[in-house]
């Protein structure tokens, strides 16, 4: 670990010089990467400095305890030595965590897709509940959100809803929400009071920037049509809905929520660009995806990750064996404890992988 930290210290000194170069700001991509790396190494070097200081303190205090003839001074030195020896492994653990380089993807905004699965109307209603849960969490974090497309049912549920969330560290916070969310509750439509089990699928995609994915016009088929749904001012009156088909991959995106065909096309392009970005990332990062699979989840939409049991007010995340008895609060957006536990579990797995 010491050798690696010394190499990173040398790199940090290089970056300290580099960020003083006025030419750096003329290259936005290089500037962004340089500042990100500098911020990461700055935090790491601060803890490394603390670690070295504790090591030096241990050596000096141990020597003082051995050499002094003053009884009181020797006892004080021994007490200080005990405190320093406790502080050293804690600092070492913090260093190990900081040595895991941040994933640049974690800073990205996201596009989240929620689809009702097994359970019909009850699944659609729970999809709407999950959408509200994520929106409320986003509001507590000061993030912005925007619905890109939705397919609403007559009872207020969603067969599917796609929306974006933008802000600081959004993907890093919500990346582990991908998968199958299972709900156990008595549906509002159930007269006999029986508990039903339904499922909803969530996909969390890091949103691609325009510069990251190029979509050629000749690779697109654009169809316009009249919007459909349970009602609304423009439903079935104007050709505002847009369907994009990406011919090389067969990906299809439909957006119909806006009254404007231009706005629907712009939203559909954001979703298509993000799905194409996901395909590219899957190809480039097959090894990283395999590592994630051994951690808290692969992000696979078919993986059952969580159960929401309403009669017992219980939520269980099956990947990290975490059970919380505050489902009512969770559904109001109080998911911070879940988010932090999943992130911590992922980092612990990364530490194990590094040690191995």
Average pLDDT over residues 171-195: 86
pLDDT at 192 over 60: yes
**DSSP state letters, 176-194:** GG-EEEEEEE--TT-SS--
CATH code at 217-283: 3.30.160.20
d(CA 205, CA 207): 6
CA angle 196, 198, 201 (to 5 degrees): 170
CATH fold for the domain made of 2-98: Methane Monooxygenase Hydroxylase; Chain G, domain 1 (1.20.58)
Average pLDDT over residues 133-155: 93
Q: What is the b/e burial string over 52-72, where b = at least 16 CB atoms within 10 angstroms of the residue's CB?
A: eebeebbeebbebbeeeeeee
d(CA 153, CA 228): 11
pLDDT of residue 133: 97
Domain locations along the chain = 2-98, 106-211+285-355, 217-283
d(CA 217, CA 219): 5
Reference 163, options 255, 92, 233; nearest CA is 255
Q: Which two tokens stand for residue 215?
A: 């979509």
Average pLDDT over residues 90-106: 85
CA angle 313, 111, 230 (to 5 degrees): 75
Residue 83 CB partners (closer than 8 Å, separation 6+):
none
Q: What is the b/e burial string over 247-276, where b = at least 16 CB atoms within 10 angstroms of the residue's CB?
A: eeeeeebbbbbbeebeebbebbbbbbbbbb
d(CA 117, CA 198): 7
Tens-place pLDDT, residues 233-266? 444 456 788 999 999 999 999 888 888 888 999 9
| Contact criterion met (CB below 8 Å) for 315 and 307 | yes
Q: Which two tokens stand for residue 62?
A: 């141990």
d(CA 132, CA 162): 12
pLDDT of residue 101: 81
Residue 194 CB partners (closer than 8 Å, separation 6+):
186
Highest mean pLDDT among 180-194, 211-225, 319-333 belongs to 319-333
Q: What is the mean pLDDT of the chain?
A: 86
Beta strand 158-166 pairing with 144-152 = antiparallel
| Contact criterion met (CB below 8 Å) for 322 and 316 | yes
pLDDT of residue 355: 63
pLDDT of residue 189: 66
Highest mean pLDDT among 170-184, 273-287, 341-355 belongs to 170-184
How many CA atoms, within 13 angstroms, populate the side-chain half-sphere of residue 79? 6
pLDDT of residue 191: 62
d(CA 327, CA 181): 13
Long-range (24+ apart) CB contacts under 8 A made by 235-244 are 240/264, 242/268, 243/268, 244/220, 244/268, 244/269, 244/272
- Using alpha carbons, list the distances in angstroms from residue 96 to 7, 244, 339: 15, 46, 21
- For the purposes of burial, counting CB atoms within 10 Å of the CB of 102, is it exposed (0-12), middle (13-18) or buried (19 or more)? middle
Please check whether the two domains, 2-98 and 106-211+285-355, share a CATH topology: no
pLDDT of residue 228: 65
Reduced to 3 states (helix: H, G, I; strand: E, B; else coil), residue 159 is: strand
Strand order in the sheet with 241-246: 220-225, 241-246, 251-255
Tens-place pLDDT, residues 27-46? 888 888 899 889 889 999 99
Beta bridge partners of 115: 160, 201
Q: CB count, 10 Å around CB of 217?
A: 6
CATH fold for the domain made of 106-211+285-355: Alpha-Beta Plaits (3.30.70)
pLDDT at 303 over 80: no
């Amino acid at each position: 670990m010491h050798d690696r930290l010394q190499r990173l210290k040398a790199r940090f000194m290089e970056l300290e010089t580099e960020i003083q170069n006025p030419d750096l700001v003329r290259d936005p991509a290089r500037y962004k990467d340089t500042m990100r790396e500098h911020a990461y190494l700055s935090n790491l070097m601060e803890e490394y400095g603390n670690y070295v200081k504790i090591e030096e303190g241990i050596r000096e205090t141990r020597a003082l305890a051995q050499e002094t003839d003053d009884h009181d001074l020797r006892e004080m030195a021994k007490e200080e030595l005990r405190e320093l020896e406790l502080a050293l492994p804690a600092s070492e653990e913090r260093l190990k965590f900081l040595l895991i380089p941040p994933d640049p993807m974690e800073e990205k905004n996201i596009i989240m897709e929620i689809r009702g699965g097994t359970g019909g109307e009850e699944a659609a209603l729970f999809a709407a509940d999950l959408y509200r849960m994520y929106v409320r969490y986003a509001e507590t974090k000061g993030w912005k959100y925007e619905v890109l497309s939705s397919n609403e049912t007559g009872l207020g549920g969603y067969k599917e809803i796609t929306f974006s969330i933008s802000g600081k560290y959004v993907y890093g916070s919500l990346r582990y929400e991908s998968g199958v969310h299972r709900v156990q509750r008595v549906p509002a439509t159930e007269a006999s009071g029986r508990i039903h089990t339904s499922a909803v699928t969530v996909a969390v995609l890091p949103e691609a920037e325009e510069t990251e994915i190029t979509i050629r016009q000749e690779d697109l088929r654009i169809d316009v049509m009249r919007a459909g749904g349970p009602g609304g001012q423009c439903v079935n009156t104007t050709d505002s809905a847009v369907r994009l088909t990406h011919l090389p991959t067969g990906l299809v995106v439909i957006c119909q929520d806006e009254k404007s065909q231009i706005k629907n096309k712009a939203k559909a392009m954001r979703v298509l660009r993000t799905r194409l970005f996901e395909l590219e990332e899957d190809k480039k990062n097959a090894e990283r995806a395999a590592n994630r699979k051994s951690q808290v989840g692969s992000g696979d939409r078919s993986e059952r990750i969580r159960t929401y049991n309403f009669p017992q007010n219980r939520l269980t995340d099956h990947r990290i064996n975490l059970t919380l008895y505050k489902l009512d609060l969770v559904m109001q957006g109080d998911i911070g404890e879940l988010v932090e536990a999943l992130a911590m579990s992922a980092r612990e797995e990364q530490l194990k992988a590094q040690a191995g």
